[in-house]
Amino acid sequence: MKMQKHDYPGIGETLYSAVLDNGLEVRVVPKKDFSTCYAAFATRYGGAHRRFSVDGQTRDTPAGVAHYLEHKMFDLPNGDNALAILSANGADPNAFTSAEMTCYYFQCTEGFEENLRMLLHFVSTPYFTDETVQKEQGIIAQEIRMGEDNPGMVVYYKLLEMLYAHHPIRDRVAGSVESIAEITARTLYDCHRVFYAPSNMVLCVEGDVDPETVARIAEEVLPREKAPVPRADFGEKEGLLPVETRRTEEMEISAPQFLIGVKLPSLDGGPAFQRENIVAALAMRMLCGISSPFFTRLYAEGLLNMDFDYEIDSPAGAFMVIVGGESRDPERVLAEFQQEAQRVAAEGFDEGYFTRARRASLGARLRALEDFDSVCVSMASGVLEGYCAFDSFKILEGITAEDCRRFVKENLTPERMALSVIRPKTREAES
């Protein structure tokens, strides 16, 4: 397999890419004389892929199947466990499931080719029995209950329920105790066959490796046939207004936690989606980052602390801005945030401030290149969304202050904002 070479002289990186005959996307970033190698093997299958169609047939599955599969994939037919084998061979393996993807990965300093073969082998070799699936239910149910007691997860999923009327990201990636009880070995086999086909997956590697060798190993280990790619169904297109604008829950916490969310127009991946993500991130850095006038003022007043943060979230066809943290007065923070957004929409960002923010954003992205895991996972995510992560640097250089003002004006309007709050439980006075 001859791989295509792409040079990025502006950031000092070289990328090799190929699409194998079975449809697998392969990306390799060689790092000569580096001791660490990292590999990420990802599928376009996450918690939101509950309803899908393939070969003209539509299927509905319970919430939590993608996460359940991740738990069970390390079991091998001969009774071995892939995690144990990789660890014994000097690798540090793990996996995660998000709303839009499942990713299996390892890092090692020796035995890379052997570890890569094992990674590709166990992810492409399903082995489930009704007994082992039922046994896993108790473990995952415990994980779900722990999430229900986590205020950070509660305030986040409450916000998603407020923003979206029916999109499956409203449901937890792990599902519910009730939904996972419906999962059987047959469910896992069927979903593995559909979503774990090489044509629906990407392999990203970084380290002192030969790109052609990586592609050759993938060709040798993985199935050779090219399967049809499933089409996810996330339901009817949703409007931009939230379903609910305010919700408050009580939990055993010491200080109120809050999230402000805004739905953004959804884009079907590709370079336009990548650019809008970058515009949004830069606009939010200037609007409410730790160096912004908004944050410094509210921090000085004791309304915000260093836990405050913002995020551009784009899971499974959805697209949103989320800001939040701890505050004694979340409603006041929301009012101040709305006012600051309206001011910026009218006045725009100062050019000097914009230049410094863009430079800081570029520096943060360059520092992230030092983390092989960050590079491989972001590269995999980009491939699944139809763009190259390394293009972000050139895109960022072309972003203007007016692009950022436009983003704020078009999206961060008061009627588009939802506020999710978790407050400390009120205790009844002792009699």
- pLDDT of the residue at 428: 56
Do 4-232 and 246-424 have matching folds? yes
Question: 237: buried, middle or exposed (CB in 10 Å: 19+, 13-18, 0-12)?
Answer: exposed
Write out the two tokens for 147: 């999430």
pLDDT along the chain (431 residues), means of 10: 92 97 98 95 97 92 96 92 95 96 97 97 94 90 91 96 95 94 95 97 98 97 95 92 96 95 92 96 97 96 96 92 97 98 97 96 96 96 96 96 98 98 76 37
SS3 of residue 182 by DSSP = coil
Q: Give the CATH number of domain 246-424.
A: 3.30.830.10
Write out the two tokens for 221: 């280990």
The count of other CB atoms within 10 Å of the CB of residue 232 is 18
For the chain, the domains span: 4-232, 246-424
Of 419, 422, 417, the closest CA to residue 155 belongs to: 422
Distances (CA, A) of 105 to 45, 116, 122, 179, 370: 15, 9, 12, 27, 17
Sheet holding 309-313, edge to edge: 246-251, 417-424, 257-263, 320-326, 309-313
CA dist., res. 310 & res. 323, Å (int): 4
The amino acid at 305: N
- pLDDT of the residue at 418: 98
Q: What is the pLDDT of residues 278-328, one digit of tens each?
A: 999 999 999 999 999 999 999 999 999 999 999 999 989 899 999 999 999
CA dist., res. 173 & res. 102, Å (int): 11
Q: Give the CATH number of domain 4-232.
A: 3.30.830.10
Question: 138: buried, middle or exposed (CB in 10 Å: 19+, 13-18, 0-12)?
Answer: exposed
- pLDDT of the residue at 426: 83
Residues in the chain: 431
Maximal CA-CA distance, the chain: 79
- pLDDT of the residue at 176: 94
Name 407's bridge partners: none
State the DSSP H helix or E strand holding residue 310, giving kind and residue range, or none if neither: strand 309-313
Question: 306: buried, middle or exposed (CB in 10 Å: 19+, 13-18, 0-12)?
Answer: exposed
Asked if 416 and 240 touch (Cβ cutoff 8 Å), the reply is: yes
Query: What global pTM score does this model have?
Result: 0.94
